[in-house]
Amino acid sequence: MGKNNAKSSIGFWALIWLLGLAGQLCWNMENQWFNTFVYAKIAKDPTIISWMLAISAAATTVSTFLFGCVSDRKGNRKTLVSVGYILWGIFTILFGTTEFMNKGSNSALIGIAFAVVAADAIMSFFGSMGNDIGFNAWINDHMTPDNSGALGAALAVQPVIGTIVGTIAGGLLVGADDNYMRLFTVIGGSVILLGIISLFGMKDVDNLKPSIKGSFSEQFFSIFNLKAYLQHRELVFVNLMLAVYFISFNVYFSHLGNFMIYYLGFTADTMGLIEGVGLIVAMFVTIPAIKLIKADRSSLLIFAAIILNSIGLLIIGLLVSPTNVDPSTVWNPNLMAGMLFVGIGYILFLQTITVWSKRLYPEDSRGQFEGIRIVFYVLIPMVIAPLISNPVIKNSGEFVDEYGFTEYLPTNAVFIAGLIVVLLTLIPLYFAHREHQKL
């Protein structure tokens, strides 16, 4: 698949969607169902989720820098995608086996929590290898001014579709009997299958050459050259936007499933439908956004995304509670309106900033600059967000169950906290826009 014909071929776009959606389904499962798995099978304590977020983010970041450097030096994306996806799927399935560990004592529970965190980290390590570095760098190699809008739209819509399908199908797979192992086996198996398909169906661009800059260690650590990185001033502020926005996102989204299931009283399948309807409607926003991205109106789109996201969080934070929702039906106007605004803001933001940042990558270091992106997209948000959400939940959502055990359930307060943080994204947006205007 050469660079010229790949951009328009059916095979190219099939790989974009199949590999992209399989990856997003797996990430969605980790971000959403791993957290409800912890509450259902381990303990109703957000501290375990906080450790999962932080440690898996660290594993993801190490993976992106390591394999980003390997990818650039070898001039190879395909191998990372294939091997990464296969191992990603295997460890997804193995993660589910932690529920069968003996929970007979407090010390055993601590050991199980450690195993859950470790299994999540290993899964994230290989997921980042295959998806964040291999797949994303492969897309970067094919991106041109002509197809950047369409690729950006695909990359932005895929997490939404992944969330919709992952939430609805996930709820059905888990079922009333809380069979999480069934969910992990189906999703993990799908990712393994796509990894095998990529072995035979994927080809790197013809002009991808090894980029060797000294020894491996010299090239690996060159990416940590802060002075050189700061010369890309516009990219610096774009990445800061990414970090602030996703700190806010992880404050509330990591706990959204448990908020709807354990605080509001919805079942997993009803929760999926409510979330899915809002996001399906929100997807249509990406159609006109493609033209605005091509017209270089990214700053305006980001501004609109932040405002819409804020409105959605405000609605959920102030107008949704156990007293005014009906868990037996999908029709809950306040909750659905909040989800719609949050979904529109999320799609607009992710679609726009994905293209904006990728346009600024140095051509000979795209793999490593994906590593830098992960620092702002994953590491910083997933380390900082729990420092905000964990105390908020423990101070606002402490309950004692019928057996006298303390449980911590996410309440509306996490959405208000997310609202405050997301508005701070306007600060780096101002500076990114100003740098862009200088060009």
Predicted confidence (pLDDT) per residue in 8-35, tens digit: 578 888 888 999 898 888 888 888 888 8
Spatial contact of 95 and 184, defined as CB atoms under 8 Å apart: yes
Q: Which residue has the higher pLDDT, 305 or 156?
A: 305
Task: Please give the C-alpha separations between residue 367 and each of 128, 212, 376, in angstroms, as whole numbers.
Answer: 12, 12, 15
What mean pLDDT do residues 358-375 have? 72
Task: Please give the C-alpha separations between residue 125 and each of 87, 217, 287, in angstroms, as whole numbers.
Answer: 9, 20, 33
Q: Is the pLDDT of residue 150 over 60?
A: yes
What mean pLDDT do residues 82-108 have? 85
pLDDT one-digit tens code per residue, 85-96: 999 999 999 998
Q: Work out the end-to-end distance of the chain between its first and last CA atoms, rounded to an integer number of angstroms.
A: 34
DSSP-derived secondary structure for 377-417: IIIHHHHHHHHHHHHHHHHH-EEE-TTS-EEE---THHHHH
Q: Is the pLDDT of residue 335 over 90?
A: yes
Distance (Å, whole) CA 289 – CA 416: 28
Q: Is the pLDDT of residue 106 over 60?
A: yes
Q: Is the pLDDT of residue 104 over 70?
A: no
Please state which of the ranges 35-49, 68-82, 361-375, 399-413 shows the lowest mean pLDDT.
361-375
pTM for the model: 0.81
Q: What is the pLDDT, as a whole number, of residue 7?
A: 45
376 C-beta neighbours (distance < 10 Å), count = 21
Distance (Å, whole) CA 376 – CA 240: 7
* Type of residue found at 31: N
Q: What is the pLDDT, as a whole number, of residue 199?
A: 87
Spatial contact of 245 and 367, defined as CB atoms under 8 Å apart: no
- Mean pLDDT over all residues of the chain? 84
Q: What is the pLDDT, as a whole number, of residue 5?
A: 45
430: Cβ–Cβ under 8 A, 6 or more apart, which residues?
none
pLDDT one-digit tens code per residue, 238-262: 999 999 999 999 999 888 988 998 8
Identify the H or E element spanning 149.
Answer: helix 148-174
Distance (Å, whole) CA 122 – CA 186: 19
Cα angle: 290, vertex 147, 163; to 5 degrees: 60
Return the percentage of the chain with pLDDT > 90, whole number. 34
Q: Return the closest-CA partner of residue 414 out of 252, 259, 262, 275.
A: 252
Q: What is the pLDDT, as a whole number, of residue 217?
A: 79
Identify the H or E element spanning 368.
Answer: helix 366-374
Q: Is the pLDDT of residue 4 over 60?
A: no
Distance (Å, whole) CA 382 – CA 397: 21
Spatial contact of 27 and 89, defined as CB atoms under 8 Å apart: no
Spatial contact of 330 and 276, defined as CB atoms under 8 Å apart: no
Distance (Å, whole) CA 29 – CA 52: 13
Q: Return the closest-CA partner of residue 41 out of 124, 98, 106, 105.
A: 98
Q: Which residue has the higher pLDDT, 3 or 132?
A: 132
Confidence of residue 108 (pLDDT cuts 50, 70, 90): confident
Identify the H or E element spanning 406.
Answer: strand 406-408
Distance (Å, whole) CA 417 – CA 251: 7
pLDDT one-digit tens code per residue, 288-319: 777 787 777 889 999 999 999 999 999 999 99
Q: Is the pLDDT of residue 186 over 60?
A: yes
**Ramachandran region, residue 251 (left: φ > 0; alpha: ψ -120 to 50; beta: rest):** alpha
Tokens linked to 241: 């936007």
Q: Is the pLDDT of residue 405 over 70?
A: no
Please state which of the ranges 164-178, 363-377, 423-437 shows the lowest mean pLDDT.
363-377
CATH fold of the domain at 3-203+219-437: Growth Hormone; Chain: A; (1.20.1250)
Distance (Å, whole) CA 332 – CA 311: 17
Q: Which residue has the higher pLDDT, 301 or 280?
A: 301
